[in-house]
Each structure stands twice: as structure tokens, then as C-alpha cells.
């Protein structure tokens, strides 16, 4: 009789959460596969989607070749007679030009499946490419708030998202963040059709990530969970899911940071990231994400680092406007059975302690921002996340808030 590997208790939690996502009818990939070593199932999962037997596989520029992932994916697909067309064009974040180039390649090669394997940027690029391969125009035409305002009319090519970090939850979401470097901003293509067809979350792929990538990514995921509970667009069924995930953050993240090869900790952080993606896609976010987008576009601050710096401050700032919701979320973060009188103060202190433990700066002083810089950041912070903040924010209020951090 063949030996079967028993699921870890984190995998069991993941499948309970996936059942809950389905029962509540939350927006999520059609197929979600979670667990260590699950990458092995790639060929079998891809086969029904690859009628012409050709997949464009988008990798991170350097990491995939270094770790042997490219050969591994090629072998897994070849076993099912699927030819891999590899693409290594995403160096940091996808730009309009990079996405358009990859979409042109997908059309030229007549692939029938797009696979994104890497960090959030790679997965976002793959989502956009899957859509543009079968829709007219450039990525620029679909970006929110700018461009020609085109809508994705044709169903994108089937798309697989395989994260190699635990951070953005991009494997579960309906948007693709795309950089417009010459204009100094990042904007999203956003459409439920962009949700990946298959999310294949194998925590083994996160083993031995550098400590700062683990730290920044973990704070990004934590920010998704907490902001989804307090945003004005919050939904009780999403909050319930966020609470489940929040109970795993402290243990998962602190152990993964200290002991990068600890598979149980990587499973916890992958679960937290995956559920954070579902929460942000179904509820939205708040001001830490509004400002983080501007800091990334204007001052090159990595997204998770910006979230980690801002989160304790934005929670304190918003506390009076969402006290019940914040108390509930922070009680879950503290693993309390239910909120207590001091759950908010203790919870924010614990978030700040985690931030310090992960060696993330306490404020924005290190950027040496001028008054003009602060105004420009505030002006660029007014995206959709900011509009969901519990305290309504405008440019003068955001400037006032930022002045306390510099
Ligand atoms: Fe984020």
C-alpha cells in the first residue's frame, strides 16, 4: 500500500478556510491547492487548460534561474507534454512596457495558459498578460483612473498563480499593480476576471527567503488582514476569515524570520498571505495602503516595508473611528478568545513590537522628506484604499498625519 503523507495541521486549517470561502461565496480562484510539495501537481493541474500544449511561464528575473525552479517547472510540465515558453522580464515591478511585451509574446507563441511563479509582481504581471493576450490595446488602456478606461471584455486565458513569497496574496486577488515609471505612479488593472484560475500555494517555495523579504512580506499580509476589518467597505463574513488568519501571524512570522527553513512557520505565513489576499479582494483596504502606494512610487520604498512602518501609526490614528472592529481584529491577533477592554492598546503595542522584532524602522525619518515631498506623497495617496479609511482622509489631513512621522 502506498504511503500517504499526512497533512500538517496548518494545511487542515487552510482547507477549512477554503471551504468557508466557498460557503460564503467570496471571490477567489476556481481552484485553490495549498500544501508543501504541491508544486509536484502542476502538470496534472495544467493539463485540462493547455489544449494546444503550450504555457507561457513568467518567472522572477533572477531567483528562478538561481534556485533551479525553471528546470523544475519545465520538467513538471513536460511530463504532461506541455511546452514551457519561459519569460524573465519582470525585474522589480511590472511596467506597462514589460506587460505589453509579454502579452505580445503570448499571442505570437499562441500559448493557451499563463503561469506566474514568483513574488506578487510576477503574479500581477501574469494576470495582466493573461487578459491582454486576448483583449485589444496596451496595459495602459486598462489602468484605473487613467488611460482610455478600456474594460476587459474577453475572458482572459487560464492563469495559474504560484507564489514564492508570503506577502501580497496576489494569487487570490482581482487586481494587477502596474508601474508607470515615467509618470511616477503605480495603478491597478482591476476586474473580477483577473482572479487567477488556479492558485497553487506551496509553502516549500518560501523556504530560506531572505529575512528582510520575510519581514516586509509578513507585515504587508498583516496590514491586509487588519485593514480589511476596519475599512468602511468591511463585510462580516470577510472579517471572520481575517480573524482566523490573524491568529497565525505572530507565531508564523516571528519563527519564519528567525528560522527561515522552518516549514511549519512557512506554512503559517503562506496561509496568512493567501487569506489576506481574499480579504483585500472582498473588502478592500485603508490608509496604510493608500500612503504605501505613494511611498513606493515616489520614493522607492518596498511595499511591505512601507506597510510595516505605517501600520502601528495608522491603527492608532483610526482607533476611535472603528473601535469595535479594531478590538475584534486585534484580539484575534493576540489570540484572545474575545476582545477585552485593553485589546486595542495591547494589540497595537504587539503590532509595534513585531515591527521592531522584524527590524523595520519606526517612522519615515530615514527618508529625510521635505515639506514638498510630504505634500506630493499626500496628493498621491488618495487612491481607492484611502477612500475606505475609517476616518475620511483628504490631502490636508494626510499631510498632518505624515508630519508626525518625519
Ligand atoms: Fe499590500
| Alpha carbon of 379 to ligand 1 centroid (Å) | 19
| Alpha carbon of 23 to ligand 1 centroid (Å) | 26
Global pTM?
0.95
Give the pLDDT confidence score for residue 64 in this predicted structure.
76
| Alpha carbon of 303 to ligand 1 centroid (Å) | 7
| Alpha carbon of 170 to ligand 1 centroid (Å) | 9
Give the pLDDT confidence score for residue 5 in this predicted structure.
55
Q: d(Cα 103, Cα 93) in Å, to the nearest integer?
A: 16
| Alpha carbon of 14 to ligand 1 centroid (Å) | 21
| Alpha carbon of 224 to ligand 1 centroid (Å) | 6
Give the pLDDT confidence score for residue 3 in this predicted structure.
43
| Alpha carbon of 270 to ligand 1 centroid (Å) | 14
| Alpha carbon of 44 to ligand 1 centroid (Å) | 31
Number of H helices, E strands in the chain: 17, 8
Instruction: Check: CB of residue 285 under 8 Å from CB of residue 277.
Output: no
| Alpha carbon of 57 to ligand 1 centroid (Å) | 24
| Alpha carbon of 402 to ligand 1 centroid (Å) | 19
Strand partners, 183: none
| Alpha carbon of 120 to ligand 1 centroid (Å) | 9
Give the pLDDT confidence score for residue 6 in this predicted structure.
60
Domains in the chain, please, with CATH? 38-201 (3.40.50.1970), 210-403 (1.20.1090.10)
Closest of 227, 219, 248 to residue 12, by C-alpha: 248
Q: Which residues of the chain have pLDDT under 70?
A: 1-6, 184
| Alpha carbon of 146 to ligand 1 centroid (Å) | 21
Burial class of residue 296 (count of CB atoms within 10 Å of its CB; 0-12, 13-18, 19+):
buried
The pLDDT tens digits of the residues spanning 330-367 come to 999 999 999 999 999 999 999 999 999 999 999 999 99
Amino acid at each position: 500500500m502506498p504511503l500517504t503523507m499526512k497533512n500538517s495541521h496548518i494545511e487542515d486549517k487552510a482547507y477549512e478556510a477554503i471551504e468557508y470561502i466557498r460557503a460564503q461565496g467570496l471571490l477567489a480562484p476556481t481552484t485553490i491547492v495549498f500544501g508543501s510539495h504541491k508544486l509536484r501537481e502542476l502538470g496534472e493541474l495544467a493539463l485540462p487548460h493547455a489544449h494546444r500544449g503550450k504555457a507561457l511561464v513568467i518567472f522572477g528575473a533572477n531567483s528562478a534561474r538561481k534556485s533551479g525552479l525553471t528546470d523544475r517547472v519545465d520538467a513538471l510540465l513536460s511530463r504532461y507534454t506541455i511546452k514551457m515558453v519561459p519569460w524573465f522580464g519582470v525585474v522589480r515591478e511590472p511596467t506597462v512596457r514589460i506587460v505589453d511585451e509579454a502579452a505580445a509574446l503570448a499571442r505570437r507563441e499562441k500559448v493557451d495558459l499563463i503561469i506566474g511563479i514568483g513574488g506578487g509582481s510576477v503574479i500581477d504581471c501574469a494576470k495582466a498578460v493573461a487578459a491582454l493576450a486576448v483583449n485589444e490595446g496596451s496595459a495602459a488602456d486598462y489602468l484605473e483612473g487613467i488611460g482610455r478606461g478600456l474594460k476587459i471584455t474577453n475572458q482572459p486565458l487560464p492563469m495559474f498563480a504560484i507564489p514564492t513569497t508570503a506577502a501580497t496574496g496576489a494569487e487570490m486577488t482581482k487586481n494587477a499593480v502596474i508601474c508607470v515609471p515615467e509618470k511616477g505612479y503605480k495603478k491597478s488593472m482591476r476586474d473580477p476576471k483577473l482572479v487567477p484560475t488556479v492558485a497553487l500555494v506551496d509553502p516549500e517555495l518560501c523556504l530560506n527567503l531572505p529575512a528582510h523579504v520575510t519581514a516586509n512580506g509578513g507585515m504587508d499580509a498583516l496590514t491586509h488582514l487588519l485593514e480589511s476589518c476596519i475599512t468602511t467597505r468591511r463585510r462580516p463574513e470577510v472579517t471572520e476569515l481575517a480573524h482566523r488568519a490573524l491568529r497565525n501571524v505572530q507565531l508564523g512570522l516571528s519563527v519564519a524570520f528567525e528560522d527561515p527553513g522552518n516549514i511549519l512557520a512557512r506554512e503559517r505565513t503562506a496561509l496568512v498571505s493567501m487569506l489576506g489576499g481574499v480579504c483585500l479582494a472582498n473588502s478592500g483596504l485603508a490608509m496604510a495602503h493608500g500612503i504605501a502606494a505613494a511611498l513606493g512610487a515616489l520614493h522607492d520604498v518596498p511595499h511591505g516595508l512601507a506597510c510595516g512602518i505605517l501600520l502601528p501609526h495608522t491603527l492608532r490614528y483610526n482607533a476611535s473611528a472603528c473601535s469595535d472592529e479594531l478590538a475584534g481584529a486585534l484580539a484575534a491577533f493576540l489570540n484572545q478568545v474575545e476582545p477585552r477592554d485593553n485589546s486595542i492598546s495591547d494589540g497595537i503595542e504587539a503590532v509595534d513590537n513585531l515591527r521592531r522584532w522584524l527590524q523595520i524602522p519606526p517612522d519615515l525619518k530615514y527618508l529625510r522628506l521635505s515639506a514638498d515631498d510630504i505634500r506630493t506623497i499626500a496628493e498621491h495617496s488618495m487612491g481607492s484604499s484611502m477612500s475606505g479609511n475609517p476616518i475620511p482622509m483628504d490631502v490636508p489631513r494626510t499631510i498632518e498625519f505624515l508630519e508626525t512621522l518625519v
